[in-house]
Amino acid sequence: MKAIYLETFAGISGNMLLGALLDAGFPIDVLKSELEKLNLGEYELVHQRANKLGIDAQYFNVLLPHGHEHSHNHEHTHEEHTHTHEAHFHCQEYAHTYDPASHHEEHHHHEHGYHHHEHEHHELPHTHHHHEHRNLADVMSIIDASSLSQSIKDKAREVFTAIAIAEAKVHGKAVEEVHFHEVGAIDTIIDIVGCLLGLEYLGIEKVYVGKITTGHGFVKCAHGLMPVPAPATAELLQGLPQEKGRVAKELTTPTGAALAKVLGETALELPANFTCEKIAYGAGTWELEIPNVLRVHVGTIADEKSSGILEVACNIDDMSGEVFAYVIERLLLAGALDAWAEPIVMKKGRPAYKLVFLVVESKLTELLDVVFEETTTLGVRYHQVERTVLERRSAVVATPYGSVAVKYGLCNGAVVNIAPEFESCKEIAASAKVSLKKAMQYAQIAAEELLNE
């Protein structure tokens, strides 16, 4: 099946993902034509190439022709920033980055409480807008009234609902009390629906997301200093692997977090059965010390339930156990779905081991090279096998001793297995000087509590 893998080393926002999908081959004319079905009124789609520290990427933005134009000049850099909107909660105002080390402010990408602003380094006009509020039901009525496909409407509802629930929790309000400003609702609809349209056009059936970089520091808003990630973003990222990264900016927005949470499945590395065919880039906002892009690997993933899985084996009686451990590790790193050694007795009563591994057929040659290079075998045998696997999801849970990665196994949508990652538990047990058993017990409890939230 066709799949994508998102590398979010510079964070993720709605316009970054849509820019990457355009870069991957989603035609802008198709996007424009589909968006017309929403009857959103006047707006302008900005789509242009942007260079981020030597990486050529696709930049996407939405301009709305309400009010009058003006630009912000940064006090320290004298750069002109574009001020655009995704979604706006009615109690917030302009936001800026606050750097406590240097005590200066800088225009910043902001999405707190449904009031977030993006400042681009492209010299594009900024517009002010009148404030007409819409709640989740109003936004969904716009989408439901369109002639978009039902699958797009249903998925858009999931994404918008995820954001609204997060915002409602942060502000202590009911979901129906969370309001969008008119303009914010419009371009957030465009970003979310546009991403869904892009995935549908490209035939993407699976979205994998790596560890999400949030940025760090504080942003200044109407209520004072707010931490990065923004409260709504932090809510949405619960259960997903994340890191602050080195950049003191708000890199991941609530819209980006919601898209990753609703559409994606966590994979800390490219899945072993993923074959990349193209790499696309969506441009972010500022000029940072790192390339401010979302990198998207576009390709195919082999269906692990199909008969395209091979079981490969060889018998070895003249190799030490230490080498077996090394070979198994190499096979797994090279893409084996599983690998192990079985004790056997060969001819003349000689004790030996059978080296066995599972591999997607397309990777057979690559893994055979490892076997012949690292072992003493003179040959291998293999045959096709079929298997049924549970749907798997990953999460990170907090324990009294530190964070632990866990995996959930699902059957027909219900969780039937919970497995704390051994290495993660071993790490916190060592750092906290507690038994591994206790670390694993607390991880299990935390993983079960996360399901009940």
pLDDT tens string 163-209: 988 888 888 888 888 876 544 578 899 999 999 999 999 999 999 99
pLDDT-derived band of residue 129, with 50, 70 and 90 as boundaries?
very low
If one compares 390 and 146, the residue with the highest pLDDT of the two is 146
pLDDT attached to residue 89: 36
SS3 label, residue 32 = helix
- Using the predicted structure, report yes or no on whether residue 223 has a pLDDT greater than 50: yes
Residue-level pLDDT at 222: 65
CA 161 to chain centre: 18
Report d(CA 432, CA 447) in Å as an integer: 19
For the chain, the structural domain boundaries read: 2-301, 309-385, 391-451
Q: What pLDDT is stored for residue 181 in this prediction?
A: 57
Name the strand (E) or helix (H) holding 382. strand 381-385
The whole-angstrom separation of Cα 72 and Cα 70 is: 7
Which pLDDT score is estimated for 66? Answer: 56
User: What's residue 61's pLDDT?
Assistant: 94
Tokens of 347: 């001819």
Render 153-193 in DSSP notation, one character per residue: HHHHHHHHHHHHHHHHHHHT--GGG-EEEHHHHHHHHHHHH
**pLDDT digit string, tens, across residues 355-379:** 999 998 888 999 999 999 999 999 9
Domain 309-385 has CATH 3.30.70.1380: yes
Q: Percent of the chain at pLDDT above 90? A: 54
Backbone conformation region of residue 326, classed left if phi is above 0, alpha if psi is from -120 to 50, else beta? alpha
Average pLDDT along the chain: 82
Asked if the model's pLDDT at residue 19 lies above 90, the reply is yes
- In this model, does residue 67 exceed pLDDT 90? no
Q: Please report the pLDDT score of residue 184 as a whole number.
A: 57
Q: Is the pLDDT of residue 268 over 50?
A: yes
Fold of 391-451: Ubiquitin-like (UB roll) (3.10.20)
User: Is residue 128 predicted with pLDDT exceeding 60?
Assistant: no
Question: Averaging pLDDT over each range in 71-75, 171-175, 260-264, which range is the top one?
Answer: 260-264
pLDDT score at 429: 92
Question: Residue 90 and residue 105: Cα distance in Å, rounded?
Answer: 23
Bridge-partner residues for 89, per DSSP?
A: none
401-451 residue pLDDT tens: 988 888 888 888 789 999 998 888 998 999 899 999 999 999 999 999 888
Work out the pLDDT band at 295, boundaries 50, 70, 90: very high
User: Taking a C-beta distance cutoff of 8 angstroms, is the pair 88, 184 a contact?
Assistant: yes
The torsion of the CA quartet 241, 247, 251, 257, rounded to 10 degrees, works out to 10
Higher pLDDT, 99 or 351: 351
More confidently predicted of 21 and 301: 21
